[in-house]
Structure 1
Amino acid sequence: MTISYSAADAVTLGRDVLRHEAAELERAAGDLGEAFAEAVKLILGVKGRLVVSGVGKSGHIGRKLAATFASTGTPAFFVHAAEAAHGDLGMITAEDVVLGISYSGETSELLTIVPTLKREGAKLIAMTGNPESSLARYADVHLNCHVEREACPLNLAPTASTTLTLALGDAVAVACLAAKGFGKEDFARSHPGGALGRRLLIHVRDVMRTGDAMPQVRDDTTVLDAVREITKKHIGMTAVVADDGCVLGIFTEGDLRRLIERVGDIREIVIRDVMTKSPHTIGADELAAAAAKVLEAKHCNQLLVTDAEGRLIGALHMHDLMDAKVI
């Protein structure tokens, strides 16, 4: 095999592949109909699990589709067809729906387990490129993944067909997602380690500073004593509260610098005379992501957390949100 590389030829061929596969997807979208709706209905009604199976490239596609279904509200897992014939078939029950993937529809490993599946009572959805194939005929529902030609110049390597199979499986998963009313919060619960999970599952109460870590002074405190509280709590500000704990104002390190520039000697100044009144606050039950939006919109680094009566219950710094990887 002799390698002959041309940058221009590579880009041209790459564009041809993408355009060819896009055209196959567009054609398949136009052909979508009753069988697709039946497949969605069958999966929505499953009492057990959606079991995806295949071998080779179809198996790789199947693993991805099982993961997609599982993360979008349809309990699913992948079983390799060859392993199913050697014991893993015991994972499949009569309450399951099996999604069998084989472009030819004649994959021997899949056909070997079909009689057992039918005897057990499991429903079978077949994804093949041949409606007249054995797997398609045995299936309760057949989804046609036929392509006119592979994107491979030799028309041999599974390319357009695997892309279409993947996209069609995604379409079924999304249709199921929509029918179930699966929302962002549901998605976040199955992705707690991801950025979306953190944004939708972490609340202000989970990251705010409380107790001794929460800087606060009374309104008759001198500025010097307020500075000591700011220095001690390492958050760059202090809340100013009334005797009942209600927030009256806030005083930040930035306020201190500006005050010194303006008056010089601050020793006799009381905090109520220089604090920022009616500061920005947020509730503990708000999403941490909402707190980040407030900080960004108000161009500040700190935020006070209050209860329904306006009493101070926490304090939040931009770094707290960064540490929690909310931002």
Structure 2
Amino acid sequence: MKTILKATAITAQSEKIEQSSKLKAVNNIANQFLSSLQYKSILFVFLLLIGCGERVSEDQKISPLEKKIFSSIERGKLGQSTSPIIITPRKLSISEIGHHLDMDEETVLKHLKATNIHGYYSLSARNLPPEGIFTLYHINFEGKMLQDKKFFVNGNGILVTKLDDQFIEINNNLLFFSNYLPGEPVNFALVSEDQKLIATTKIVPNPIEKVDNHKHRISLEIASPDKRTYVIHCSGLRPFGTYLASISFENERFAYPFEANSKGEAFLRTGPSAPWITEGEGTLELRGDQITNPLFLEFFWGS
């Protein structure tokens, strides 16, 4: 039986000019939990990503690689990805988090609340070329791109990264997120060494969404640094069915009649038009084929 030594590491990345006492408390608590872990037969690494609306954007030229990644992200927002490689996120259940942290479920819930962590996630990748070398980047909604790790495809076709003298599979490279705005996405890009293969995906740690018992789903995501452009994503719909999405930003209301695509999805860009209103309350509603009770949610938007 193959046994792998478990190692842990944590990197806190904050893009604020000053780190608040709350974030210091988050890091202290997270480090206390991680330092108390015992050896197991699973190797994994933790990466803490901290989000908020108080970032400082640096003016810089966009590199050719960044242009490729941003273009891939934009296509992904509209469901138009063409990459042969597929990278997929998965949110861990409370019991899975407890398994990794050696905690019971009640303690996990207390841990998440104390650290304001929205959830733990893992990534998986498919259709990888043999012996390929890749870099994983994460990109915030303001377009700032940070390099995370180098990965390579092992003999079993699995992406792994090196930590000290051990190797971690990408699905054990656990990510957790703290202090993200409602609807704020974090994008990930997996880029081959020659930059010819780029696969992107995103995680919305603090989602604005509604799902009914029939798995009809509607969600809203921030799509611009000024937080005035959003993407409505509808899924679980009848392919080519007709629907109506209506959204309000304070006193402005917009209606979007649409037809779902062959996958039962739709992507709609929206946002407030009055320049003097920078934040407020909003509502989102979905009606249409096979939806008996309209999906409805309320949200807060802006800075």
> Same fold per TM (> 0.5)?
no
State TM-score, norm by structure 2.
0.21
State TM-score, norm by structure 1.
0.20
Structure of greater Rg: 1
Bigger strand share: 2
Bigger helix share: 1
Q: Which has the higher contact order (CA 8 A, sep 6+)?
A: 2
